[in-house]
Structures are given as C-alpha cells and as structure tokens.
Chain A
C-alpha cells in the first residue's frame, strides 16, 4: 500500500484529534455515556495509527517522538503557524 501524503495524514490527524477534543469534554460531564465512549475509542485508534505513520514518514509531532540517532529532527520540520500544512 502506497504511503499517504503528508497533507492526507495531517488531515486525518486533525480530524481524529478534533473528534477526541470535542468528545473528551462531553465525557468529562457524562463519564458513563456508552455511545460517547465508543466514539472516543474509534477516533483514538485512528489517531494513534495516523500519528505513528506520520512520525515514521514525515517526522515527529511531539518532542518525545524524535528518532535522534544522527540529528535532532524536531526543529527541521516547519512550525504549524507558518501555513505550510
């Protein structure tokens, strides 16, 4: 399977992360809502896989995920406010 483009992967990460950002607040005030818990689990899995694929193909999204054997790559990729994404 061909790798997804950087933009495609970032789009998946943005959407899945936002789904979680939103349902997380709902779950704070409705911690036993089963439908919301399933929704959370679904997007958590999508986000987890997309974050891993992005890191492996295009570089780290958090400074905890830098593969730094030869070079510190955290500062190489553009910053998100630069409008490149």
Chain B
C-alpha cells in the first residue's frame, strides 16, 4: 500500500501564471515520457521480477515517480491558477480550457491523451530494464527541451531537480541490469527468460 505525505518532494512556489508554459510542461504529467507513464511502467513490471534488488528498485523508483507527478502537477496548477478568460485566450489555452476548464487531466503537449501504450511491461527482465533505461533518458531529453523554453526561475528550478533525478534513476537501472545479467548464463544472456522459464 501507499501512504500520502502532505508535502512535495521538491518545493514549487510560482509567482507568475503562464498558460503557454503549462501547456507544454503538461507532457511530463500525461505525455509519452511523462511521470505518470514512468510510475505505471515500473510498478507494473515489478510483480514478476525475480531478483529482490531489482524488485526493490522498481518499487522505490515507481513510488518516487508518483512524487514527481505531483511536482509537475503543482507546476501546472500554479501556472494556470485564477486565469481569466482573456488570459486563457491570449495564451493559447482555450483548446484545453474547453474540455477541462482549469482542472488537471493527463495529456501530452500535443493534446494526445494518456494511454498505457506509452509503456511496456514485457515479462522479461532484460527487455524491461532496457525499456526503463531508455525511458529515463527520454524523460531527461524532454526536461532539457522544457528548460530551453522556460525562462522563469520559479519554474526552471523544480524542472532541473526532476531532470537530475532521471539521471540518478538511469544509473540505478543500469546497475539493476548488471545484477540481472550476473544471474544469467554469461555466454548467452538470452538462453532463457528468468521470469518465465524456471
């Protein structure tokens, strides 16, 4: 089970609203390389993972991603708080507003809705860990792209924190892959699938 702590993993205190910025940062909430997809990916993969270190990593990173989803959500919420209709129209937020008002809904920057097709749970630890390492790099690139467009330090600061976590997670998944391979036939890692062939 999970327990909610009434605090953010990293603080978000944005003074100036900006719906244009909110519209693309939203991709890290519900987009293809976003935090919701990350959390669901790792928490789905962990059940059949046969090695306790890696089950631990999937559980703990999957949990941290929920905290990251909350940070991204807090950024979107604060960037769009109390917007007027004139601001919504001037800042290109009307296509979102018409469906969701100022409520948060997981979608990509393009408007594509969140879907579990953004991630895979393949039932093979080598395959899944390669997916996980790629996912961390894709999220890191997305944060890099966001940082190219965001100039407000109140927004860029928590985004930089999230970007740094992608790199730490990538490192831990790399170690996890090594742990998995240490359990396998060093001449042929693919001789059998330890999640299926016993």
Task: Determine the distance from Cα of A64 to Cα of B9 in the docked complex, in whole angstroms.
Answer: 19
Contact at A29–B7, with CB atoms within 8 Å? no
Task: Determine the distance from Cα of A40 to Cα of B152 in the docked complex, in whole angstroms.
Answer: 34
Range class of the A interface residue count: 20 to 34
Q: Which chain A residue shows the least CB distance to B75?
A: A81
Partner of A25, one of B6, B57, B179: B57
Range class of the B interface residue count: 20 to 34
Contact at B6–A62, with CB atoms within 8 Å? yes
Shortest Cβ distance from residue B143 to the other chain A in the assembled complex, whole angstroms: 18
Shortest Cβ distance from residue A76 to the other chain B in the assembled complex, whole angstroms: 11
Contact at A28–B9, with CB atoms within 8 Å? no
Contact at B172–A17, with CB atoms within 8 Å? no
Partner of B168, one of A10, A22, A79: A22
Shortest Cβ distance from residue A80 to the other chain B in the assembled complex, whole angstroms: 5
The A contact surface, by secondary structure, is helix
Contact at B8–A80, with CB atoms within 8 Å? yes
A85 on the B face (CB < 8 A): yes
Q: A81-B73, A83-B12 are in contact. Are A61 and B176 (CB under 8 A)?
A: no
Contact at A62–B57, with CB atoms within 8 Å? no
Instruction: Report B-chain residues with C-beta under 8 Å of the C-beta of A64.
Output: 3
Of all A-B residue pairs in the complex, the 4 with the closest CB atoms, nearest first, are A81-B74, A28-B56, A29-B175, A80-B8
